[in-house]
Structure 1
């Protein structure tokens, strides 16, 4: 640790001792019209250095005078990506970009230690650009990514809670990063969403495959990296963006404001948003009680930059009040009911029906969850000669309250405070013999504390996590080979945890060991988990238009706290969890093969994966001696965690057709398939009775057709009508053991949309998005919807069980830059 601190202190000395710099200027123009191309990004290859052209197409970028073989990669929406070789005797350039409708060869930074072209990375990475996010209409940012990334799905608990799943794996197997900081907000929970501002995500990158080498535990299935807005226009002026939307199904209203400033050295940004929604509707259930919510966000950024690098200080505040659906209904009318009594006095059959006024209200009921997430972090990146260093230090606090007592609405059923310190440092060494090398350490220190609550799903605990890694990439001619190795340690401990009845309230409370009637709920625990991760992959540029990819990776994941420590009710999930303190870490070995095609009129790709997991941890419903689910008085089911060998394999195919003789026409098409098997010998050939893994998405097909129209109008810049189809096949491969899951019928959804841009300033356009999702109001249930299983009766008058997904939804969205 002393060595790290010394290195941090030496960075400013090294940086400022090299005062000389070389400045390159130039302009970016359209090859056909010679008009300026504004807001084109220019990224220096093999270095985290770049800039963006201003509204008039002009740019400026600095780098050290002793840097040789400098190449800039240019990318702009609607143009073919290009490169610019910097000559030693030329400091000003004019770059002409070729207009193009084919998808760009985007630059990605998440999957590697330095900026790299997408086609060079052996791991499957999908980038979702700002325009794709802005033009999407969905309940949250994860749902936006699901619509744009084949192979990415989400387990949902209503429209505002979506947990990402990659290749059939989710929860703590998919690591979510916010600006490089790992998201820590009790991800184990079914009803725990991602605590970010949906209006402040500028782009996202999705790694599909093991990424433990760079990120350690919890990246066994992949990584979702979310990037907030960073000011780029270095003109010393105030800029901003106003976003507003309305969705008819749940009457969602959302507004977001963004303000930023960037000069030569200093930059600032402020962001705020507010979203609220009523209960959503579908043709079977009407309005679904306890799915309304309101979310508030605020963030601030202050930064300093020079020719050698930058330092950013970021602060984010998140506040979410959300209903906790339980599926309680009247047995005959199927109308939703609400809990008004507790314990033995609470008879599910006699609960009162929720009023029409309450169903249509924006007011979140007393029985709800309140999540607050605070984040502050410092990021620094500086060049040291031909090398560079990246440093991250941050802290976050997640406060989760779940109010589940109707007779005492201010008494939290669950109340936990999770505090996390994140750290990381990476050194990218100078390139030698075409080899890029990086070495780094990262990890976290974590503490969880139960507060004034009545239910305790997990104990108070302390966690210490860290890993060291070495990563290298060799590139020459048509070959690019990359890989690395990592060693991780995670130490978890907690003390004896006692609970007992509070005589004043009648509820349970945490007690010390000497208190009368104290019962031991969590016995003391202490364990050190460790694991080695590694990967090696290659990309071969067979032709200018065809890339072949192969990768093999070993990933590691330590069990999360609910898997090893849970022993009680999680009131928000309406599940009693039973963990196993003898679990070992998961280790996966995944092989990936892929081919990437990019022609003038057609681009596409095929990827295959096979993943074998040792010590796979999964949930199975507990049953009594008669095989019936174990359920308490309030209808909460009991799930136990088990461990076994598992195998997942599947494929993805995507294609984009943009004929040059049909300018502006686009047809996107994708298919994703995942199979998951429990390889325990006793389950062999048992099918749904144990052989299949839970939460495996069915075969999915997504297709969209759009046509860009350029009207000859002074103010109407463009129109893009769009038609979409979403098809999910029947899922008969489910974990039916003890009623854990049931089969899910197929369904097909039709969506239409229209995006238009209206000029209101010379370089500013107002963007309007109109969308109709589930156009024909289809009644369906997603296999990954938790609400499908919120049912108290074995038989129903209409023959339908559980809660259905959202019905027809019209969306209007407006984005105004200024």
Structure 2
């Protein structure tokens, strides 16, 4: 063993010195003038640099072939491959473009720009989502077309992609699969937006890439990057929200030197009950603490990074309109959740290939405190709001979920026009109960999957195809064992049918094995006031989706149309049987074939020569039905979003931006038998922001207002809808970020 460690260490040390310096320059293609401070990024190495004031840069790289991405505001992002060593000075010519800079898509296996991707993936910067005034990450992602959120107040939100949610949408963070008991209706993401750089959304089955639970799509959260070589930075920010008298603050530092790099970030968030025009919604208050840290090392043929995220949240669970207060300490009932995420990503580079190894461990401890377990009430049943009183309580529900997952992919040498990846993925998960109540039984789950996928690039068409096999076993203690398996595949095409028209056609299958709640529930679900009974005879959900995307783009306008049809066999749903247990209606888990269809359509207009002006419009629609013509529950209403946005720079203030947005949500009348319809409403928002120098450092100030007209409305996917409780009223958000 010691000999092996010595050999590995010697190889790393030798590789550290096997570097080749490459030099390059970035020029404006039209004027041939230098572009200073352009960004140079190598996605495989996750490192980069910037050009100097003469548009020049240099990098030290080991022998091999690398993808390099060059970007600068106002110019079209360029992606190409370079071979090291190179004796010549590399020259990159960028063309002007009013469109936003493209970023490398991380959630798909070949890490290409979206313009090169066969699969349509939506990507948004976290700064852009936060500028819209959303309180949380779950609220921010709803500004992405085709994405909604099932919410319980402001603190709990579950992503919905084209009508599918919960276990049908897989969430990735720090490069690993997030497992936080997401099968529960009152279980949110458990991730704070601090330290998240961007969000990517795959709409539709992604089982080829990720296995079970990616039936409806993937929400991929990219953590903030480490500092560029030989640089360091620090920043701090604070946001204040008038509606909840709440605040969100975070601070971080990162540095990179001599192959080593590290970062850390801490944040604290507190909110009172949110306010409507007529009342505060009792017990929607919450407190969240978050800490993220990362450490990385990079040699010429090897790179590795380790990240850790601790998130603690105390979330009030609203039940009815009661105490009117601006206190921030949750009342009973409330949840206390600890979520630990450990991740490790390593890559070993060969001359023409590479091996990626990603490991993750997630520990989720969910406790729920209820009134009947409060032993210190007075004779009138009144409760004390202080934290220390609550800490003396015994949790009624105390569940611990421990998940280890692994992902190993080998990037084969490129053969002609073929880029190919093969890999294995797996997971071991244990669920255990330690409280008085047990809604979900103790169980052990094991997953194993093997996959292969290729990207083939021809002159006029790109093709991506792949296949995968998965096996899952579930051992439910003292009850029964179950096994599930599935073959899945995907085939996609991208081509330009006309000069400025890009077409993407993707066909893919996906699957989802039944979760623990669906298989073995046997008790009252307090959040929904129903007695749920699992069904051990449930089989895989299996789907097939056709997705067609058309995109027209020229210098001044971009039009897009993205339509889909999704057939889901053996769709699992709850259905009442007419009986009562302890006064609660009994619901059984059943299966029937279902289908969903719809899409997203829109435009982005930026007239010449006023490229600082942007007019954006998007429409999204989805319909879901069972084969018996009943509508599926919790399907978002159709919506139309119109945004007028300006972006420009001045001599004293840079990145000046302002927007006015009107989101029109239509009435939802296509509802399940046990749902009620929802009325239409309009929400007006606006915002302004910019960056200026203070003490020779950048300070960004932003001001935004959501629901500016204080409209009273109920979102169709709000879990407070059944009680007739309105969503949040007018809110003004003031944010300041200072960077050193």
Q: TM-score, normalised by structure 2?
A: 0.92
Counterpart contact for 1:64–1:385, Cα < 8 Å: no
Equivalence for 1:687: none
1:13: Cα distance to partner? 7.4
Indicate yes or no: 2:476 matched with 1:554. Answer: no
CA distance 1:622–1:390, change in 2 (3 Å): same
User: How far apart are residue 90 of structure 1 and its match?
Assistant: 3.8
Q: 1:744-783 residue pairs with structure 2 within 5 A? A: 744-760=678-694, 764-783=697-716
Q: Does 1:123 align with 2:85?
A: no
Q: 2:256 aligns with which of 253, 256, 262?
A: 262
Task: Mark the CA change 1:231 to 1:757 in structure 2 (over 3 Å): closer, same or farther.
Answer: same
Once the two structures are superposed, residues 671-725 of structure 1 have per-residue CA deviations (whole angstroms, 9 ceiling, x without a partner) of: 111010101xxx34xxxxxx101111111111110122434x4x33353221001
Are the counterparts in 2 of residues 124 and 209 from structure 1 also a CA contact under 8 Å?
no
Aligned pair 1:413/2:396, yes or no?
yes
1:134 CA drift (Å): 4.7
Match of 1:473 among 440, 455, 459: 455
Q: 1:421 to 1:100 in 2, by over 3 A?
A: same
Match of 2:343 among 348, 355, 377: 377
Select 1:810's aligned residue among 726, 732, 735: 732
Are the counterparts in 2 of residues 455 and 571 from structure 1 also a CA contact under 8 Å? no
> Where does residue 614 of structure 1 map in the other structure?
569
| Contact preservation (8 Å) 2:151, 2:717 | yes
- 1:225-264 Cα distance to aligned partner (Å, 9 max, x none): 101112232224x411212101111112110011111113
The Cα offsets for residues 103-129 of structure 1, whole Å up to 9 and x where unpaired, read as 334321212x22212133332201112
CA deviation vs aligned residue, 1:572-613 (integer Å, no higher than 9, x gap): 555533221110011001111111222111123111111111
Partners of 2:25 and 2:51 within 8 A in 1: no
The yes-or-no answer on 1:423 pairing with 2:406 is yes
- Cα gap change, 1:86 to 1:484, in 2 (>3 Å): closer
Within 1, Cα distance between the matches of 2:510 and 2:695? 51
Q: 1:743 aligns to what?
A: 677
Distance 1:183 1:718, change over 3 A: closer
Question: Partner of 2:270 in structure 1?
Answer: 276
Which residue number corresponds to residue 694 of structure 1? 633
Is the Cα contact below 8 Å between 2:73 and 2:100 reproduced in 1?
Answer: no
1:25 CA displacement: 3.0
The answer on whether the counterparts of 1:717 and 1:759 sit within 8 Å (CA) in structure 2 is no
Name the residue aligned to 2:327.
361
Q: Does 1:655 align with 2:577?
A: no
- Following TM superposition, by how much is the alpha carbon of 1:16 offset from its aligned partner in structure 2, in angstroms? 6.1
1:717 matched to 2:658: no
The offset of 1:184, in angstroms, is 0.4
Answer yes or no: is the 8 Å Cα contact 2:277–2:710 preserved in 1: yes
Which structure shows the higher strand fraction? 2
Quick one: structure 1 residues 529 and 461, their matched pair in 2 at CA, closer, same or farther if it must change by over 3 Å? same
Report if the CA contact (8 A) 2:38-2:70 is conserved. Answer: no
Q: Which secondary structure state, in structure 1, belongs to the residue aligned with residue 493 of structure 2?
A: strand
Q: 1: CA distance between counterparts of 2:265 and 2:159? A: 25
Match of 2:191 in 1: 196
Q: Secondary structure at the match of 1:281?
A: coil
The reply to whether residue 584 of structure 1 matches residue 539 of structure 2 is: yes
Q: Name whichever of 209-218 and 399-408 sits farther off.
A: 399-408
Query: 1:221: which partner in 2?
Result: 216
Name the residue aligned to 1:445: 428
> Where do 1:212-611 residues align within 5 Å?
212-236=207-231, 238-284=232-278, 286-327=279-320, 336-337=321-322, 354=323, 356=324, 359-406=325-372, 407-408=374-375, 410-451=393-434, 453-496=435-478, 524-572=479-527, 574-611=529-566
Match of 2:381 in 1: none
Q: Which residue of 1 aligns with 2:386?
A: none
Could you say which residue in structure 1 is the equivalent of 2:131?
A: 135
Distance in 1 between residues matched to 2:549 and 2:181, nearest whole Å? 34
Does the aligned pair in 2 maintain the 1:656–1:668 contact within 8 Å?
A: yes
Q: CA deviation at 1:52?
A: 3.5
1:34 Cα deviation after fit: 5.2
Structure 2 CA distance for partners of 1:54 and 1:143, relative to 1, 3 Å: farther
Q: Secondary structure at the match of 1:442?
A: strand
Q: Is the 8 A contact 1:119 1:596 kept in 2?
A: no
Asked if 1:75 corresponds to 2:9, the answer is: no
Partner of 2:578, secondary structure, is coil
Query: Could you list the per-position Cα deviations for residues 508-560 of structure 1 after superposition, in whole angstroms to 9, with x for gaps in the alignment?
Result: xxxxxxxxxxxxxxxx0111111111101111133453211111101111011
3-state DSSP of counterpart to 1:623: strand
Q: 2-side partners of 1:479 and 1:646: how far apart?
A: 33
Q: CA 1:530–1:812 in structure 2 vs 1: closer, same or farther (change >3 Å)?
A: same
Quick one: structure 1 residues 134 and 746, their matched pair in 2 at CA, closer, same or farther if it must change by over 3 Å? closer
Kindly state the Cα deviation for residue 271 of structure 1 after the two structures are TM-superposed.
0.7
| 1:727-785 Cα deviation digits (max 9, x unpaired) | 1111110102xxx21111111111111112212365x4211111110010000011111
Q: Are 1:205 and 2:200 counterparts?
A: yes
Q: CA deviation at 1:669?
A: 0.9
Deviation at 1:414, TM superposition (A): 0.9
Residue correspondence of structure 1 range 30-41 to structure 2 within 5 A:
37-38=36-37, 40-41=39-40
Partner SS, residue 651 of structure 1: strand
| Distance verdict in 2 for CA 1:257–1:632, change over 3 Å | farther
Correspondence for 2:646 among 707, 729, 737: 707
CA change 1:322–1:82 in 2 (3 A) is same
Q: Which runs of 5+ in 1 are unaligned?
A: 1-5, 328-335, 338-353, 497-523, 625-629, 685-690, 792-801
The corresponding residue for 1:110 is: 107
Q: Distance in 1 between matches of 2:433 and 2:206?
A: 32
Alpha-carbon distance in 2 for matches of 1:461, 1:9 = 41
Contact 1:578 1:638 in 2 (8 A): yes
Equivalent residue for 2:664? 727
Alpha-carbon spacing, 1:9–1:653, altered in 2? closer, same or farther (3 Å): farther
Work out whether residues 63 and 351 of structure 2, in 8 Å CA contact, stay in contact via their aligned partners in 1.
no
CA contact (8 A) 1:456 1:570 kept: no
> For the residues of structure 2 that align with 1:574 and 1:319, how far apart are their CA atoms?
27
Query: What is the aligned residue count?
Result: 718
| Residues 567 and 24 of structure 1: CA distance in aligned 2, closer, same or farther (over 3 Å) | same
Alpha-carbon shift at residue 569 of structure 1 (Å): 2.6
* 1:146 partner SS: helix
Structure 2 stretches lacking a partner, 5+ long: 376-389
Contact 1:63 1:308 (C-alpha < 8 Å) held by counterparts: no
Q: Hey, what's the Cα distance between the residues in 2 that align with 1:647 and 1:76?
A: 43
- Equivalent position SS for 1:213: helix
Deviates more, 1:563-572 or 1:591-600: 563-572
- In structure 2, C-alpha distance between the alignment counterparts of 1:200 and 1:768, rounded to whole Å: 19
Q: For 1:380 and 1:595, locate their aligned partners in 2 and report how far apart those are by CA, in whole Å.
A: 37
Contact 2:539–2:570 (CA under 8 A) maintained in structure 1: yes
Distance 1:600 1:319, change over 3 A: same
With over 3 angstroms needed to count, the CA separation of the structure-2 counterparts of 1:66 and 1:411, relative to structure 1, is: closer
**Residue 143 of structure 1 aligns to a residue in which SS?**
helix
Distance 1:28 1:373 in 2: 44
* CA distance, structure 2, for counterparts of residue 14 and residue 649 of structure 1: 54
